[in-house]
Amino acid sequence: MNAEAKVISLFSALPGPVRGVARMILAALSYACPYGVVRHLSQAIPVFEIVFLRSFPGLLLMLPWLARASLGALQTQRMGIYWLRTGLNYFGMSCLMYGIAHLALQDVTALMFTVPLFTVMFVACCSRKGWGRRSMCGSRRRRCNGRGSSPWGCSARRSPSASPARWPTPMPAW
């Protein structure tokens, strides 16, 4: 039995809640470690070089596909919007790396939680539909055709064949 199979079998033998905690710890580490690496590298390398070094592996991973599909795979009818999106993505990544390098990490993390709010406001400003209660609240009512019993217009619908044994159970409050 190789090492990978041994680790998988040991992990599978753990109780479900312990596996869940281990996965959450792994997720937190995978979220926090890049911030620490950027903070450490920013003492010796300029921020824009860090942005390049972060983007370069993605380019290397895309090159085999691009070689097989040719540049025609990147064609679009709205090339201007494509380049605007690319520029905004680069600007956002540069701002994030600059923030990680020069701000407290807890402030950067707190600001990252505001990204969905600013995204909705940006889309509302740029789209032709404009502002409204539905656009700011997630427009769940339209997706459910106005039916349901919750305040958002949707209720948790279960198929008639779903047995209560398969329904999710609430996590115990310790």
What is the pLDDT, as a whole number, of residue 148? 47
CB 90 within 8 A of CB 50: no
Length of the chain: 174
What is the pLDDT, as a whole number, of residue 46? 93
- Rounded to an integer, what distance in angstroms lies between the CA atom of residue 105 and that of residue 14? 33
What is the pLDDT, as a whole number, of residue 154? 46
Assigned domain for 164 exists = no
Structural domain of residue 94, as residue ranges?
12-70+78-111
Longest dimension (CA), the chain: 61
Count of structural domains within the chain: 2
What is the pLDDT, as a whole number, of residue 138? 57
Residues 120, 137, single domain; the answer is yes
Assigned domain for 88 exists = yes
CB neighbourhood size of 104 (10 A): 10
What is the pLDDT, as a whole number, of residue 142? 47
DSSP 72: G
Residues of the chain with pLDDT under 50: 141-160, 162-174
